[in-house]
A = this chain, B = another copy of it.
Amino acid sequence: MRFDKKRLAHIVFESDDPVSKKFDIILLIAILGSVLIAILDSVKDLHQAYGRIFYVLEWVVTALFTIEYGLRVWLSRRKLGYVFSFFGIVDLLAVLPTYLSIFILNTQLLVVVRALRFLRVLRVLKLGRYLRESQILAQALYNSRLKIMIFLGAVVTIILVMGTVMFLIEGPESGFTNIPMSMYWAIVTLTTVGYGDISPITPLGKMVASMIMLLGYAIIAVPTGIVTSEITVASRKREEELFSKRVCPTCHAERHDADAYHCKYCGTRL
């Protein structure tokens, strides 16, 4: 088969036919693999035992990603458009760290950047069905952003006030050494995480703590309510769009089902 740039571009950018789907899946495996290497390499024992192999694999994956990145730049119609797109930057961040590791010795820092590689998994969202669903979720979260910010504002206020109060009640000897520490405890408690590294000792402190717990236990209902209501609205909207918008010429009744041939109020042919 003679070379065909259009076809290649299709394989790389789309995912609506077997070949391009296969390309995406291979890519996903490579991405997950590269992340796995980064994780395992951080385990001392594994690093000592297989560090060499990880090192090689690291470069293999990087090579693949470099080629892929090159392809994408070369194949995309608007080159800069891709380079400065979200995925363009993510793709670049996926290969840079390994090359930088030659010059920079602080590998620690690179591990983080390499972690960003995981963002490439988002490419899966390209796969049609996921895209629509995630748009609905995104829409719902976007619509409820104001409400959620108000909620977070309230939570922060509670944390600050309660943190200060507990600092005054418990004092340093219980581990509430200062307000920031006391606020950290308030967060740990309000979110019902409850490490137990710091916990109130005085009876009064325990009473206030109980109040915070019950508060945190109850107010979780608020963000949940906000998001739920938005998601319900979003999906209802989608449903209604499937509704026909036809109007009856005789009685002007609206909201006929999509499969209606006659007005359900007066029987006129639609």
Asked if B221 and A121 make an inter-chain contact with CB atoms under 8 angstroms apart, the answer reads: no
Minimum C-beta distance from A106 to chain B (A): 10
- Do A261 and B265 touch (CB < 8 A)? yes
Q: Assembly of this chain: how many copies? A: 4
> What are the residues of chain B within 8 A of A133 when measuring CB–CB?
146-147, 150
The answer to whether the Cβ of A225 comes within 8 Å of any Cβ in the partner chain is: yes
Asked whether any CB of chain B lies closer than 8 Å to the CB of A139, the reply is: no
Task: Give complex CA distance A197, B153 in Å.
Answer: 30
Interface size on A, residues (CB 8 A): 107
Determine if A232 is an interface residue (Cβ-Cβ < 8 Å). yes
Given A133-B150, A180-B42, A262-B264, do A191 and B164 touch, yes or no (CB 8 Å)? no
CB of A224 to closest CB in B, whole Å: 4
The smallest C-beta distance from A217 to any residue of chain B, in angstroms, reads 4
A83 within 8 A of B: no
**In the complex, A227 Cα to B232 Cα: how many Å?**
10
A49 at the interface (CB under 8 A from B): no
Decide if A129 is an interface residue (CB 8 Å cutoff).
yes
Closest residue on chain B to residue A224 by CB atoms: B221
Is there contact, CB below 8 Å, between B42 and A179?
yes
Instruction: Give Cα distance in the complex from A224 to B44, angstroms.
Output: 39
Kindly specify which of A17-25, A50-58, A69-77, A246-254 makes contact with the partner chain: A246-254
Question: CB within 8 A of A214: which of B179, B191, B194, B231?
Answer: B191
A154 CB, min distance to chain B CBs, angstroms: 9
Task: State whether A266 and B261 are in contact (beta carbons under 8 Å apart), knowing that A214-B191, A220-B220 are contacts in the complex.
Answer: yes
A168 and B111 form a contact (CB under 8 A): yes
Contact check, B187 vs A195: say whether CB atoms are below 8 A apart.
no
State whether the Cβ of A116 lies closer than 8 Å to any Cβ in chain B: yes
Task: Answer whether A161 and B226 are a contact pair too, CB < 8 Å, given A43-B178, A210-B187.
Answer: no
Closest 3 CB pairs of A and B: A262-B267, A193-B194, A195-B196
5 more CB-based (< 8 A) A-B contacts, given A39-B179, A260-B265: A42-B167, A111-B168, A137-B222, A221-B226, A228-B231
